[in-house]
Amino acid sequence: LKYFIIIFFAFTLGAQAQSHFASSNGQKNISKPNVIIIYADDLGYGDLSSYGATKIETPNVDKLATEGLKFTNAHCTAPTCTPSRYSLLTGNYPFRQTGTGILSGNAGMIIPTDKKTLAKVFKESGYSTAVVGKWHLGLGDGSPIKWNDSIKPGPNEVGFDSSFIFPATADRVPTVYLRNHTIIGLDEEDPIEVSYKSKVGNEPTGKKHPELLKMHPAPGLGHDGTIVNGISRIGWMKGGTRSRWTDEELAHDFYAESENFIRDNKKKPFFLFLSLSDIHVPRMPNTRFKGASDLGYRGDAILQMDDTVGRIMRLLEDLDIEENTMLIFTSDNGPILNDGYIDGSITKNNGHDASGKYRSGKYSIYEGGTRVPMIIRWPKEIEQGGSSSALISQVDLLATFSNYFNQSLEKDEALDSFNLWDALIGRDKKGRESMIEDATIKMIDASTQALVIGNWKYIAPEQGPVRLSWAIDIDGGQETGLSAEPQLYNLEKDPGELNNVAKQHPERLKQMKNTLQEAIKSG
Ligand code: NG6
Ligand code: CA
């Protein structure tokens, strides 16, 4: 048995290395579908009715699922935003580069400008490319950002022809939009300053002036800095009063920008990365959606997210481009209830299970952290209404598309990305042989990785709290999955990762541990 396992592992890694460099897809005149990635924020595996939710209905995403292919074993690479997005755009696991943890709103950009990115893959194949929405990958070269000047490098330097973004998260300053290199609505009489160290300017903060708030921060989490639109943020800012966006308008603004881009480019192939702010905190949806669900503002934000998906779908239909548009819907990490504000997400949760049958959610190395909904609709090539349990990671999109377009990758590019074309269009129901999940929880200075091979999941031991006490969930805290003991789960028999069978399978445990260590070192 021992030798069998060794051979099996050697084969596994060999097969993957091969598929990374495999080139031709055999087609000369490949069709160039439009590609839209709608990236929801913090949306859990159990948050959609098409994925089993019973306390909320998401008719538009459900329609997408019945018209496309629904994945049940798709993953982001990390249970938080910045590292997942880093992987999506670079084809690398987060541990390949330091500084890929959750970024503040004034951090430098972490995507290298001289390496292939997902956006460049499309651009080099003649696509018009755009990003609209939350960025959270840093801006500038790492020196202090001059907010009132042209801000570079940013999305436009890593493959996006046009960008309309906010820098980090909706709960972080500065609460402004950038179109390409410039903040919209700059006023030289009212220059912008931002700090994450100490207060700048004289504006009230949530800490000192709770009476000015329309939504209160959860105690002790740091969301009590400068108040913008009645909501205090992480960090402090001054100036730019005319530039500040309104939370209730975010979803609308992102849709409107996306619509313009799609209309302008409907005659040529385009790639749109629509990076929603829903359902990240602060959950302050458009007033139309306030109270629309039975689950408080978190549920209302889910409905708003679903509405955006529906509007994009109707636009494609109206423009008669839906047939050859590949619409990819997924999320950047698993769910959480309290992530910084008292927004009713806990008191109104009403028994809703945001991560479905998977354990924990955002921040966690358990499946709830990185197993996310993923649906791909491409009427021209993908059969309607299918479901696939193929193991896929978002890190694979880069190599998949570069391979599809017959582009080559340098040896140091997209190290962890594999060509999964057949899995993405439903022809292969197996997908990857193995996959790494990478959880770095900056706030508690802990980091661990998990290796999935087929149905087996190994979690490397790491000291740290079992629960994130501040992220009080319905079960009394978000479980991190950290343990001083190695963990091994059989995901087929035990999808909820409740039964650690490490002691029953010492040989497998050892092999998986070594394989994970080798993989991490090889970067
Ligand atoms: C955390 C914030 C949380 C959220 C998260 C980013 C604290 C205690 N919590 O640091 O509120 O903003 O960062 O979420 O600061 S993510 O989905 O963009 O990764
Ligand atoms: Ca997120």
Closest atom of ligand 1 to 41 CA is 17
377 touches ligand 1 (CB under 6 Å): no
For residues 323 and 269, the answer to whether their CB atoms sit within 8 Å is: no
- Residue bearing the bigger pLDDT, 113 or 476: 113
Residue 4 pLDDT greater than 70, yes or no: no
Query: Per-residue pLDDT tens for 120-151?
Result: 999 999 999 999 999 999 999 999 999 999 99
Distance between CA atoms of 480 and 341, rounded to whole angstroms?
20
Kindly state the average pLDDT of the residues 165-170.
98
- Residue bearing the bigger pLDDT, 475 or 410: 410
- Residue bearing the bigger pLDDT, 7 or 157: 157
Residue 17 pLDDT greater than 80, yes or no: no
Closest atom of ligand 1 to 134 CA is 18
DSSP element (H, E) containing 179: strand 178-179
Q: Band the pLDDT of 14: cuts 50, 70, 90.
A: very low
pLDDT number for residue 8: 46
Among 87, 102, 173, 333, name the best residue to mutate to test ligand 1's pocket (greatest count of ligand atoms within 8 A of Cβ).
102
Closest atom of ligand 1 to 280 CA is 17
Q: Band the pLDDT of 266: cuts 50, 70, 90.
A: very high
Query: Per-residue pLDDT tens for 273-295?
Result: 999 999 999 999 999 999 999 99
Residue 167 pLDDT greater than 70, yes or no: yes
Distance between CA atoms of 343 and 170, rounded to whole angstroms?
14
Residue 453 pLDDT greater than 90, yes or no: yes
Query: Per-residue pLDDT tens for 192-211?
Result: 999 999 999 999 999 999 99
For residues 72 and 367, the answer to whether their CB atoms sit within 8 Å is: no
Span from the CA of 390 to the centroid of ligand 1 (angstroms): 30
Give the CA-trace dihedral at 69, 70, 71, 72, to 10 degrees: -150
171 touches ligand 1 (CB under 6 Å): yes
The whole model's pTM is what?
A: 0.95
Residue 153: which of 173, 178, 132 has the closest Cα? 178
The ipTM is 0.98
Among 110, 171, 364, name the best residue to mutate to test ligand 1's pocket (greatest count of ligand atoms within 8 A of Cβ).
171
DSSP 76: -
